């Protein structure tokens, strides 16, 4: 059976887990309580990087996530990151450039409604993200609403529906229905080699919309 490391960062997905100091062992037990099916897919261990709103996630958290993946890279077959939806694309994009030489799946997922609620998309997203993480997919991806997208080609387009994400200019890496379709022809062509984590970020970047250098 494959081994998957579940990395938790916070967001809507884990809103039932209200204790920000929850230990990893307790966290995974809570996940297995709500979604026992994942035990039939893989051996699951967990690591909590944070339990915060995704709007507060930034460079320091990206580095922590990458370090956790690097430290556990040889022990696990794949990695699933539970993350808030608002900045999931930013984290996926950062990791796609940080994890140089990646040869294993790193899949971010989350939900529009908390795992603890009856009518939630969290169960479906988690089960399928874990199963896809057992496949040989050498990408950082985002799984949402039955599709796996390349992380750095994904956009959040919907705050209301379960189809929150899309990849308008690049085809999906996989789709889940009655079966699972893996589109290997869409995978990034990578050189073989050892995982190398790149951390040289600049925090001197500023974006201001509707800004003009010219006065009216």
100: Cβ contacts below 8 Å, ≥ 6 apart: 195, 196, 197, 198
Task: Collapse the DSSP code of 198 into the 3-class scheme (helix H, G, I; strand E, B; otherwise coil) and give the result.
Answer: coil
123: Cβ contacts below 8 Å, ≥ 6 apart: 34, 35, 115
Catalytic residue among 9, 12, 82, 87: 12
What are the CA-CA distances from residue 70 to residues 82, 101, 124, 157, 202 (Å)?
Answer: 17, 11, 27, 31, 21
Q: What is the chain's alpha carbon radius of gyration, rounded to the nearest angstrom? A: 17
Active-site annotation holds for 12:
yes
DSSP H or E segment with residue 88? helix 88-98
CB 12 within 8 A of CB 109: no
**24-34 and 122-132 helices cross at what angle (nearest 10)?**
110
Residues marked as catalytic: 12
């Amino acid at each position: 059976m494959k081994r998957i490391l579940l990395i938790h960062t916070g967001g809507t997905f884990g809103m039932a887990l209200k204790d920000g100091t929850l230990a990893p062992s307790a966290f995974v037990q809570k996940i297995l309580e709500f979604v026992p099916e994942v035990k039939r897919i893989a051996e699951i261990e967990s690591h909590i990087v944070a339990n915060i709103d995704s709007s507060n996630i930034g460079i320091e958290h990206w580095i922590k996530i990458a370090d956790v993946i690097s430290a556990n890279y040889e022990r696990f077959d794949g990695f699933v990151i539970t993350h808030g939806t608002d900045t999931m694309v930013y984290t996926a994009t950062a990791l796609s450039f940080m994890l140089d030489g990646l040869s294993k799946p790193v899949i971010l997922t989350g939900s529009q409604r908390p795992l603890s609620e009856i009518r939630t998309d969290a169960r479906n997203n988690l089960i399928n993200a874990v199963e896809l993480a057992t496949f040989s997919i050498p990408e950082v991806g985002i799984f949402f609403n039955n599709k796996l997208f390349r992380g750095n080609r994904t956009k959040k387009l919907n705050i209301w529906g379960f189809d929150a994400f899309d990849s308008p200019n690049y085809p999906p890496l996989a789709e889940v229905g009655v079966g699972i379709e893996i589109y290997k022809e869409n995978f990034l062509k990578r050189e073989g080699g050892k995982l190398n984590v790149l951390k040289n970020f600049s925090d001197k970047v500023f974006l201001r919309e509707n800004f003009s250098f010219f006065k009216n």
